[in-house]
Structure 1
């Protein structure tokens, strides 16, 4: 079984792009995808990952293609949580879709995607990178 961890934000279009990219990956066997969402530090309403619209859209597309879908969530340091969750689920590949930020914004606030790429010991697939700096 090939395991993918897809870190899903709140943007439904980026989530659909991630799901499409995963669906289009070459498959030599079964694929399981864990859809992960970080609640940016805290989650006062107590929402679950499955209540995030972008996560639901990605799950629908993956399940339409008979891909097994699981869920994971955290509240805190998103990059650290992605890396730890990848270890927990035994991910073979990480799939990320960066937020659109200006170069200045990236320099000031850092980038979860950049940190994951630099610290991961497994392949990282970045979806939609060409539009991330707009």
Structure 2
């Protein structure tokens, strides 16, 4: 089984681009197992305590859309969630689930910005000991 980690943020277009890449892998329905990761960052800590019980990766639209897309194609999907530092969490989950590759969603950039990836993407590429794929950025 080929295991892939898809760290997604709240952008549904990027998450779907990541899912499309995974679905395009050879024999994806039979040979690929996808782990969709959503990391709750400090920004989401502003929620009132009574809403904390509702904080779940499966409630995030981008996670649901990627999951639906992959499952429709017959790919086994596991939803993961974490909180803290996105880059570290991505690398830790990749290690914990012994994934074969990490599939990140790219963002559209200005001509100058295209010279560098986003900080999380660049950090994962530089620090990972696994192949990292950066997909298209969708429309945002």
Which structure carries more relative contact order (alpha carbon 8 Å, separation 6+)? 2
Query: What band does the TM-score fall into relative to the shorter chain?
Result: 0.7 to 0.9
Q: Computing the radius of gyration over CA atoms, which structure comes out larger, 1 or 2?
A: 2
Distance 1:111 1:98 in 2: 11
CA distance in 2, matches of 1:124, 1:56: 23
Distance in 1 between residues matched to 2:98 and 2:78, nearest whole Å: 13
State the partner residue of 1:60: 68
The aligned residue for residue 122 of structure 1 is 130
Instruction: Identify the match of residue 74 of structure 1 among 71, 75, 82.
Output: 82
The answer to whether the Cα contact below 8 Å between 2:40 and 2:83 also exists between their aligned partners in 1 is yes
CA drift at 1:25: 1.3
Q: Which runs of no fewer than 5 residues in structure 1 stay unpaired? A: none
Matched residue count: 129
Per the normalisation by structure 2, the TM-score is 0.81
Alpha-carbon deviations, 1:58-104, whole Å to 9, x = none?
00010001110001111111000000000111110100013445557
How many angstroms apart in 2 are the aligned matches of 1:39 and 1:24? 28
Q: Report what 1:32 is aligned to.
A: 33
Name the Cα RMSD after superposition: 2.4
Q: Secondary structure of 2:78's partner?
A: strand
SS in 2 for 1:69: strand
Displacement over 6 Å in runs of 4+: none
Matches within 5 A, 1:43-122: 43=45, 44=47, 45-46=51-52, 47-100=55-108, 111-122=119-130
With the length of structure 1 as denominator, give the TM-score of the two structures: 0.85
- Secondary structure in structure 1 of the residue aligned to 2:36: strand
Structure 2 gaps, min length 5: none
